[in-house]
Chains A and B, each alone.
Chain A
Amino acid sequence: MSSALAPMSASAPLTDSQALILKTLPDFPISGQRCATRIQQQIDLLLLAIEALELGASEQMLETVEQLDLQHLIKNRLDLWRLRSTNPWRRAYNRTPLTLEQAKTLVVLASYRAKQLTVSIRQLLLAEQQMREKNLPVANNFLLSEYLDQFRSHFGSRMNARRAKVSVYLASEETLDDFALSLLKQLLFITGTTGMQRFWVSLFDGEVA
């Protein structure tokens, strides 16, 4: 009970700190203050890669939301799922676009989780490099195969196979593995000093005038 009450009583001064985190991400002149579906898709896919990296990732994400005092934007698991379902590839596609604030929250969340996972992301990418140098299939490495298996099962169970792009990935294991590795590389760049800002800015690449 006390843990549930503590944030409630301290919510007034905390709203400033959470606003500060979101304020580190600039706003861009886009039409209608709502996100393009491409942005929503990109954020959700990176969160999916994070889920494939660690067990119990969704609990960790909710914990991170609590640590960052962003509970007013993501109250519970259902909220998180609803925001992530704005990815048009999802089976349960939620057609209400994300507001900029919601998108920023997910970007902050992804960056913080990715930072925590820096070591394993680096390990996996080094393993990938070694396998490629030896001309061996990447899935032969046990660390990589674990990540790729997880990613494949998450992707297969949540994405809508009737979407053309999704069906292309689901048709070939190799294509999906390459896709999973490309997401892993993007996660690596998010872990850096200005990774979060760069990730946010990169989402608007090709969207602004």
Chain B
Amino acid sequence: MNNIRRQYSLPNCTLILEGLTDSSNSFDVRPPLSILVHTQCTFLGINQSLEGGRTLLENLAKAVNVYAQECLSGVHRPLEKSTEESDRIELEALPGRSLHRLTWYPPTELHQAPVAIELSTVQLFDLVEAVDQFIADSQTLPDFSVKLQPTSRRYRQPDEPLTQRAVPATVGIISLAIAAFAIYFLPIPTVRKPSNVAPVASPTQTLPPTNKTQPSGATPPSQKP
């Protein structure tokens, strides 16, 4: 068993993983880190850091992966319920300030207050990249992976907010109600039956079309063969 330390350094973020290998091959130049003992994530210029074990690393990797995808597509996907245990990591955008807040809830037995860190986009990207490099590293926790998958349709925000989409329907219903109310006060028209049912003049008789141009009682056309 050898002690191994893996460091993923980006300009603003450093992820340090310490652990052991169970590889029997002692001549391995870079033996696989298969048992994780300690995780540390620090940011340049920020005093607070994240420290913990494998749960922290797993939760961090999952949260970062989901959030990075959210940054690209803008579709918010709530984290799965399984991450509600200790070492929960939450990432959220701070509106209007182009900052992101990372919140770490340490395990309850440590009795520590949650750690909230505000990250700029570049700092956040460095965190994403450090985690990505660790996941891509086949010699560090080879059994660990995070699946990239598109967010389901049900989390998609509609292009227009509900209030805006409801406007046409509401206007329609209201105008119908107003019209119905106005028409309610109109007197019901009384049906007036025609006073003299007998026809004034008998309907004109239509003549056959051939006789139309000729005066009545004229002789039949002479051109007829």
Contact = CB atoms under 8 A, between A and B. Distances in A.
Contact of B72 (A126, A128, A189): A189
Nearest to B120: A129
Interface in A156-202: 181, 185-186, 188-190, 192-194, 197-199, 201-202
Interface string B8-21: 00000000000000
A126 to B, nearest CB: 6
B128 A192 contact: yes
Given A132-B97, A192-B125, A198 B155 contact: no
Q: Is the interface of A mostly helix, strand, loop or mixed?
A: helix
Interface string B109-153: 000000000001110010011001101100000000000111111
Interface residues of A, number: 28
A194 B75 CA distance: 19
Q: Is the interface of B mostly helix, strand, loop or mixed?
A: helix
B69 A185 contact: no
A129 B150 contact: no
Contacts of B176: none
A178 to B, nearest CB: 9
A80 interface: no
A142 interface: no
A208 interface: yes
B8 to A, nearest CB: 10
Nearest to A199: B72
Chain B, interface residues (CB within 8 Å), range: 20 to 34
Nearest to B72: A202
Contact of A194 (B121, B135, B150, B152): B135
Given A129-B120, A192-B129, A194-B136, A205 B148 contact: no
B129 A193 contact: yes
A125 interface: yes
Given A28-B150, A129-B98, A208-B152, A192 B132 contact: yes
B121 A206 contact: no
A51 to B, nearest CB: 19
B122 A193 contact: no
Contact of B148 (A128, A129, A197): A197
Interface string A110-133: 000000000000100110110010
Given A193-B132, A202-B72, 11 more contacts: A128-B98, A186-B72, A190-B72, A192-B128, A201-B150, A203-B73, A204-B150, A206-B73, A206-B150, A206-B157, A208-B152
Q: Which 9 A-B residue pairings sit nearest by Cβ, starting from the closest?
A: A206-B156, A204-B150, A205-B73, A202-B72, A202-B73, A205-B75, A205-B151, A193-B132, A201-B148
Interface of B: 65, 68-69, 71-75, 77, 97-98, 120-122, 125, 128-129, 132-133, 135-136, 148-153, 155-157
Interface of A: 28, 122, 125-126, 128-129, 132, 181, 185-186, 188-190, 192-194, 197-199, 201-209
5 contacts: A192-B128, A205-B77, A205-B151, A205-B155, A208-B153
